[in-house]
Amino acid sequence: MTTFAAETDSIVTSPVSSFPKTAHIMTMIAHRLRHSVRPPEIPRLLRRDVITMPGVRANGCDWLFQALNRLRLVAALPSGWDGEGGPPPNPETVASAARLLRDLQRNELPLPFICPIAGGGLQIEWSCAEREVELELVDQQTMAFLRVENATTGKTVESGEYPISDINKSRELLDWLASA
């Protein structure tokens, strides 16, 4: 289901069963707003979760489109991306990362840095003032984290692992970051 709210210049979306029909409607709206839509080759796992366009807020968060676009680019890396035969990011891990970004979107946070890690995982990192939170999607079930109090000196406050499904732990880490 897609709703266009002209008074707020935003488009609110939710998962849809018929992406082609919705994409056509979104393209028409984008054309009227003089925006462009994301290219059709975006992996299905991303376009199912959030449909958006540059310059229009995605579900209320200014950085979500850019983060999902970066995730799309990282997901498209070929085998050997690291110069040492490393595998590309695992598609299930990419799907988990897209869901995580959607679930954690908050305007008071900056655009996260997203990069691949050895073994097919992904790292998502936020920095605010002198604080950093790194979330590493090790596999489809495990999230490793690092919380750094002073990014300049590298003083580590906490690190560990938890299940990816524990969204409250991820929110707790980002609450700490946003309170800087």
Q: Please determine, for residue 104, whether its predicted confidence score (pLDDT) is greater than 90.
A: no
Which helix (H) or strand (E) segment holds residue 13: the answer is strand 10-13
Q: Please determine, for residue 64, whether its predicted confidence score (pLDDT) is greater than 70.
A: yes
pLDDT of 88: 92
Query: Taking CA 53 as the corner, what is the angle to CA 51 and CA 56, rounded to the nearest 5 degrees?
Result: 110
Work out the mean pLDDT of the chain and round it to a whole number. 75
Per-residue pLDDT tens digits for 145-164:
999 988 678 788 899 999 99
pLDDT of 21: 53
Picking from 12-16, 58-62, 133-137, which range would have the lowest pLDDT averaged per residue? 12-16
More confident residue, 34 or 83: 83
CB pairs under 8 A, 24+ apart, for 13-18?
A: 13/50, 13/51, 13/52, 13/58, 13/59, 15/48, 15/49, 16/48, 16/51
More confident residue, 72 or 14: 72
Give me the helices (H) in the chain, please.
19-33, 44-49, 64-75, 91-104, 167-178
Give me the helices (H) in 34-147, please.
44-49, 64-75, 91-104
Dihedral sign for Cα 175, 51, 121, 143, please: positive
Per-residue pLDDT tens digits for 13-48:
444 444 455 555 655 565 555 554 444 434 443 443
| Separation CA 48–CA 159 (nearest Å) | 32
pLDDT of 136: 96
Say if residues 147 and 159 touch (Cβ distance below 8 Å): yes
Q: What residues does each domain of the chain span? A: 1-60, 61-180
Q: Please determine, for residue 83, whether its predicted confidence score (pLDDT) is greater than 90.
A: no
